[in-house]
Amino acid sequence: MVMGKFDAYKIDLKGMKDNTYSCEYVLDNHFFSDIDAPEVRSGNVHVALNVRKTAGIYEFTFEIDGVVQVVCDRCLDDMDQPVSSVDILKVKLGDDYLEDGDMVIIPEDEGEINVAWYIYEFIALDIPIKHVHEAGKCNKAMEGKLNQYLRTLADDENQDEDESDDSVTRDKVDPRWNELKKIIDNN
């Protein structure tokens, strides 16, 4: 994470005047490209954050609602993935930084927490492990090529002759094809 880009996501716990605080975020493509994580590259997500302090614990409630773009497992094109969840994070001030389940301890002398990465993680966790376009919505050309490619690969594995040629071909393979094949093989 680059410093500065996520300043708006800092919550000043020590500076909280009341026992409640709320704010809203609209995450756009900039947010996802700035956070630079592999799973989600773009999207439009609304986040309503409510913080409530009781007995020294700050309970953060994130209401997340929107659409992100992820890569379709079947055709590798981008697809829209709706995300909608309510996530809770409990934050306490303490001596050292510590993360334990849904509880985070923030050093007292820091007194603030940046929630940008937590929000990203909640969104990423809301994406199903297997995500594909609705029936008929896949990139037909790509799907055809993939099927053809996977058949060729299966044929190659059955043939031991001409190994040097084979390894050259495989070196050129887009790593995503291999990832995809792994996913298919595991199903």
Where on the chain is the footprint of Zn ion (CB under 5 A)? Answer: 72, 74-75, 133, 138
Q: Considering the complex, what minimum distance in angstroms separates the CB of residue 49 from Zn ion?
A: 33
Alpha carbons within 13 angstroms on the beta-carbon side of residue 23 total 11
Q: Which is nearer to Zn ion, 64 or 81 (CB)?
A: 81
Minimum distance from CB of 94 to Zn ion (Å)? 46
Task: State the nearest-atom distance from the C-beta of 137 to Zn ion, in Å.
Answer: 6
User: From the CB of 78, what's the least distance to Zn ion, in Å?
Assistant: 9
Q: Of 72 and 123, which has the nearer Cβ to Zn ion?
A: 72
For Zn ion, the closer CB: 44 or 69: 69
Q: Distance between CA atoms of 71 and 123, rounded to whole angstroms?
A: 15
For Zn ion, the closer CB: 90 or 137: 137
Burial environment of residue 156 by CB neighbours within 10 A (0 to 12, 13 to 18, 19 or more): middle
Looking at the Cβ atoms of 133 and 145, the one nearer to Zn ion is: 133
Look at the block and give the residue holding tokens 């190659």.
Answer: 156
Angle, vertex CA 65, rays to CA 102 and CA 61, nearest 5: 30
The single-letter code of the amino acid at 149 is: Y
d(CA 165, CA 60): 57
- CA distance linking residue 104 with residue 19, whole number of Å: 18
- Integer Cα distance of 80 and 76 in angstroms: 12
CB 184, min distance to Zn ion, A: 13
